[in-house]
Amino acid sequence: MNNIDKQFKILSPTAILGYGFPLESFMNGIREDPDLIAVDAGSVDPGPYYLGSGKSFTDKIGVKRDLRHMLKQGIGRKIPIIVGSCGGSGAAPHLEWCKAIVEEIAREEGLSFRLGLIYSDIDKQVVIEAIENNKIEPLQYLDKLTSDVVDRSVNIVAQIGVEPIIEAIKLNCDVILAGRAYDPAVFAALPIHLGYDPGLSMHLGKILECAAIAAEPGSGSDSVLGILGPDSFILKPLNRIRKFTRESTAAHSLYEKSNPYSLPGPGGALDLRNVSFRQLPDGQVEVRGSRLIPSEKYNVKIEGVQKLGYRAISIAGSHDPIMIKNISDIIKDVNATVADILHSENIDGEIYFHIYGKNGVMGSLEPAQEIVSHEIGIVIESVSSSQEAANTICTITRSTLLHYGYAGRISTAGNLALPFSPSDLPAGEVYSFSIYHLMEIDNQDLFKIKVVEI
Among 31-45, 54-68, 343-357, 401-415, which is the least confidently predicted range?
401-415
> Is the separation of the CB atoms in 7 and 190 below 8 Å?
no
Span 301-315, average pLDDT: 98
**pLDDT digit string, tens, across residues 252-295:** 888 888 888 999 999 999 999 999 999 999 999 999 999 999 99
- Angle (CA) 57 364 395, round 5°: 60
The Cα–Cα gap between 443 and 42 comes to: 24
CATH fold group of domain 304-433: Alpha-Beta Plaits (3.30.70)
The Cα–Cα gap between 251 and 235 comes to: 14
Residue 253's pLDDT is 83
Element of type H or E holding 129: helix 124-132
Instruction: Report the half-sphere exposure of 71 (CA within 13 A, side-chain side).
Output: 29
Residue 1 — very low, low, confident or very high, per pLDDT cuts 50/70/90?
Answer: very low
**Where exactly are the structural domains of the chain?**
8-120+159-295, 304-433
Dihedrals phi, psi of 379, to nearest 5 degrees: -110, 120
Instruction: Annotate 260-282 with DSSP letters as a single string.
Output: TTEEEETTEEEE-TT-EEEEETT
Q: Which residues contact 336 (CB under 8 A, 6 or more apart)?
A: none
The Cα–Cα gap between 450 and 168 comes to: 9
**pLDDT digit string, tens, across residues 225-244:** 999 999 999 999 999 999 99
Burial class (CB in 10 A: 0-12, 13-18, 19+), 61: exposed
Residue 3's pLDDT is 56
Closest-CA residue to 39 (of 171, 210, 166) = 210
SS3 labels along 198-229: HHHHHHHHHHHCCHHHHCECCCCCCCEEEEEC
